[in-house]
Amino acid sequence: MKKYRVTLGILAIFLFSATWIGSRLWADTTKRNVYTSLEVFQKVLQITRDNYVREVDLNDMIEDAMNGMLRELDPYSMYMNPEEYENLSIAMEGEFSGLGVTIGIADDWLTIISPLEGSPAFAAGILAGDKIVEIEGKSTEGILIEEAVSKLRGKPGTEVTITVARQGVDEVMEFTITREVIKLNAVRYVTKLTPDIVYIKFSKFSRTAHREVADAIDSMFNKENASKLILDIRYNSGGYLNEGVDVSDIFLERDKAVVQTRGRSPKMIRTYRSHSEPLLGDYPMVVLTDYGSASAAEILAGALQDWERALVIGDTTFGKGSVQTIYPLHNEGMLKLTSAYWYTPSGRCIDKHRAELEEDEAKGKQSYHTLGRRKRLLPNDGAIAPDILVEGETRMDITSDFIMNRVFFSYVVDFLSANPDFELGFEITDEMIEGLIEEARSRDVEFTDEEVEEARDQLAFRIKLEIANQKWGEEGWFKVSVDEDPVIQKAVELLTKAQTSGQLFGYID
Taking CA atoms, 387 is separated from 137, 311, 313, 314, 315, in Å, by 42, 6, 6, 8, 9
Is 130 in the active site?
no
- pLDDT exceeds cutoff 80 at 441: yes
Give the pLDDT mean for 427-439.
Answer: 95
Instruction: Name residue 325's beta-bridge partners.
Output: 337
Using alpha carbons, list the distances in angstroms from residue 138 to 5, 151, 161, 459.
76, 11, 10, 33
Per mean pLDDT, which of 257-266, 329-338, 353-362, 467-476 is the most reliable? 257-266
CATH for 187-323+340-392+500-505? 3.90.226.10
Q: What is the pLDDT averaged over residues 240-256?
A: 92
Proportion of the chain above pLDDT 90, given as a percent: 52
The single residue of 201, 204, 320, 352 carrying the catalytic annotation is 320
Residue from 295, 339, 481, 501 carrying the catalytic annotation: 295
Measured distance CA(75)–CA(68) in Å, rounded: 11
Q: Which residues, 6 or more positions from 441, have their beta carbon under 8 angstroms from its beta carbon?
A: none
What's residue 361's pLDDT?
66
Q: Average pLDDT, stretch 434-459?
A: 95
Q: DSSP for 170-185?
A: SS-EEEEEE-EEEE--
The backbone region for 69, taken as left when phi is positive above 0, alpha when psi lies in -120 to 50, beta otherwise, is: alpha
d(CA 214, CA 269): 29
**What is residue 240's predicted lDDT score, i.e. its pLDDT?**
81
pLDDT range class, residue 27, cuts 50, 70, 90: low
pLDDT tens-digit profile of 320-354? Answer: 999 888 999 988 889 999 999 999 999 999 998 88
- Identify the pLDDT of residue 222: 93
Domain residues of the chain, as ranges? 97-183, 187-323+340-392+500-505, 397-484
Residues 198 and 191: beta-carbon distance below 8 Å? yes
CB atoms within 10 A of CB 35: 10
Q: Report yes or no: 209 and 248 within 8 Å, Cβ to Cβ.
A: no
Q: Which helix (H) or strand (E) holds 39?
A: helix 2-51
- Say how far apart CA 288 and CA 498 lie, in whole Å: 17
HSE (CB half, 13 Å, CA atoms) of 245?
Answer: 21
Number of neighbouring beta carbons within 10 Å of residue 219: 13
Amino acid 424: pLDDT: 73
Q: Out of 306, 351, 387, 401, pick the active-site residue.
A: 306
CATH class of this structure's domain 97-183: mainly beta
Reported as a single tens digit per residue, the pLDDT across 201-214 is 999 898 889 999 99
What is the band of 4 on the pLDDT scale with cuts at 50, 70, 90? very low
User: Mean pLDDT, the chain, as a whole number?
Assistant: 86
What's the rounded Cα separation, in Å, for the pair 211 and 174? 39
Note the pLDDT of residue 12. Answer: 41
Cα Rg, the chain, nearest whole Å: 27
Alpha helices, H only, 115-240: 120-124, 145-152, 209-222
Alpha-carbon distance values, 431 to 110, 418, 436, 454 (Å): 41, 14, 9, 17
d(CA 406, CA 458): 16
Known catalytic residue at 320: yes
In terms of pTM, does the model score above 0.85? no
Residues 233, 312: Cα–Cα separation, whole Å: 10
pLDDT value at residue 269? 94
> HSE of 181 in the Cβ direction (CA atoms, 13 Å)?
4
Contact 146, 184 (CB under 8 A): no
CA neighbor of 270 nearest in space, from 257, 283, 254, 251: 257
Evaluate if residue 217 carries a pLDDT over 70.
yes
